[in-house]
């Protein structure tokens, strides 16, 4: 049970209805009597909640007519000249994200924009809170990394609300299939096709693919894996496909151990990213085997992890800081140049071959 006063709880619920577009700009909200019935509270509580929202500019009262959702809130009228760009990523402080954000921050600050950062931990409830905050803070533009992008997202209406408010929006690393939002990302299907073809060219046929199922990157990379086998007119063993999602990532080590105890072992692994590759290498070392003598391993992102271990990883390069800069520049141009074409930027993958992949010893 919330310790907040009732009027604040109701205020926040009403604000959520406004920000999500349930109560859209210029429309009249339900009467006090209906709101009392809906929320099961007194007239006094409803009036306090509405007074707060009027004070904050979300609602406006029209004498003798009722209370309306304030158009000004949707138009993001600001008293200050400071422009703020919202950035929502799945994570902030680990892996490749600090480099991406550094690129954004540098480019935005050079042009006099400030940054409002938020992360979702790849959780849709967190994404909802982030989107509500961005609307409430009236950001001028939004750079977003989709949350659980391979699944139907319950927050799609917030993105329509952002479009309706005229806020330029671009997605990074992935996109929502249901929305027409320009994206800045690598061609993940081609990237994984290149990694898989590299292993097939080295004579590996029993290749394990370890991929993530709740993000579009994982879905696209699986497509690339299949395409590489298809072009070689070869088939793969589906017992060697290992999947995980945000919630089951911790179980991955056990799944890899099961693979490593099969009678007919894989000879190579294609990993979802360098973090996953590290988990695979740990499990291989745990059974007294090593990379690349016993198994070859390839990966995505060319992160600091790819050169941090004893064996340097063959990996697809992720442009990281460049992507951050280009996303920031995209938003700046969308805001400042009426003629700017809001198009996607898709990077061609770059394969960096290092020590972790070698010719198969199998006949």
**pLDDT tens column, 207-263:** 999 999 999 999 999 999 999 999 999 999 999 999 999 999 999 999 999 999 999
Position of tokens 């200050």?
80
Average pLDDT value for residue range 136-162: 94
Rounded CA-CA distance 222/242 in Å is 11
Residues 121, 126, 129, 131, Cα dihedral to 10°: 60
Between CA 359 and CA 202 the distance in angstroms is 4
State how far the alpha carbon of 22 is from the alpha carbons of 76, 151, 336, in Å: 18, 23, 30
- pLDDT at residue 267, rounded to an integer: 96
| pLDDT, mean of residues 140-151 | 96
Q: Which pLDDT score, from 0 to 100, does residue 302 have?
A: 95
Burial of 89 (0-12, 13-18, 19+ CB in 10 A): buried
- Residue 55 burial (CB < 10 Å; 0-12/13-18/19+)? exposed
The pLDDT score that the predictor gives to residue 264 is: 92
Residue 235: strand pairing partners: none
Contact 229, 201 (CB under 8 A): no
User: Nearest-CA neighbor of 132 among 16, 33, 249, 291?
Assistant: 16
Residue 16 has pLDDT above 80, yes or no: yes
Q: How many CA atoms lie within 13 A of 271 on its CB side?
A: 26
Q: How far is CA 213 from the centre of its chain?
A: 13
Neighbours of 154 (CB within 10 A): 12
Q: Kindly report the pTM of this predicted structure.
A: 0.79
What single DSSP character describes residue 28? Answer: B
Stretch 259-282: mean pLDDT, rounded? 94
Report the distance separating Cα 230 and Cα 223, nearest Å. 10
Evaluate if residue 73 carries a pLDDT over 50.
no
């Amino acid at each position: 049970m919330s310790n907040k006063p009732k009027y604040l709880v109701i205020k926040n619920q009403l604000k959520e209805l406004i920000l999500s577009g349930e109560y859209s700009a210029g429309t009249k909200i339900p009467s006090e009597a209906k709101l009392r019935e809906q929320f099961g509270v007194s007239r006094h509580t409803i009036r306090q909640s509405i007074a707060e929202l009027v004070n904050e500019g979300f609602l406006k009262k029209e004498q003798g007519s009722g209370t309306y959702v304030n158009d000004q809130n949707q138009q993001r009228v600001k008293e200050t000249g400071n422009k703020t760009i919202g950035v929502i990523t799945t994570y902030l402080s680990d892996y490749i994200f600090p480099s991406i954000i550094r690129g954004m921050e540098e480019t935005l600050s050079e042009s006099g924009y400030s940054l409002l950062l938020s992360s979702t931990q790849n959780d849709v409830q967190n994404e909802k809170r982030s989107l509500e905050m961005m609307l409430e803070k009236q950001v001028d533009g939004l750079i977003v990394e989709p949350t659980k992008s391979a699944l139907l997202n319950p927050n799609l209406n917030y993105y329509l609300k952002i479009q309706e408010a005229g806020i330029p929006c671009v997605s990074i690393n992935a996109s929502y299939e249901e929305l027409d939002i320009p994206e800045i990302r690598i061609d993940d299907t081609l990237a994984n096709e290149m990694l898989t073809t590299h292993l097939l060219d080295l004579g590996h046929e029993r290749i394990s693919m370890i991929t993530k199922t709740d993000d579009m990157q994982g879905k696209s990379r699986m497509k690339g894996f299949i395409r590489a086998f298809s072009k070689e007119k070869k088939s793969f063993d589906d017992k060697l496909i290992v999947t995980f999602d945000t919630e089951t990532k911790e179980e991955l080590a056990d799944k890899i151990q099961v693979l490593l105890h099969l009678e007919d072992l894989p000879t190579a692994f294609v990993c979802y990213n360098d973090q996953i590759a590290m988990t695979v290498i740990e499990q291989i070392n745990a059974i007294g085997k090593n990379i690349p003598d016993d198994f070859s391993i390839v990966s995505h992102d060319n992160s600091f992890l790819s050169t941090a271990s004893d064996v340097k990883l063959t990996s697809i390069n992720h442009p990281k800081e460049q992507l951050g800069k280009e996303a920031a520049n995209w938003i700046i141009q969308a805001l400042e140049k009426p003629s700017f074409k809001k198009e996607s930027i898709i990077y061609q993958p770059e394969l960096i071959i290092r020590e972790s992949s070698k010719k198969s010893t199998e006949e």
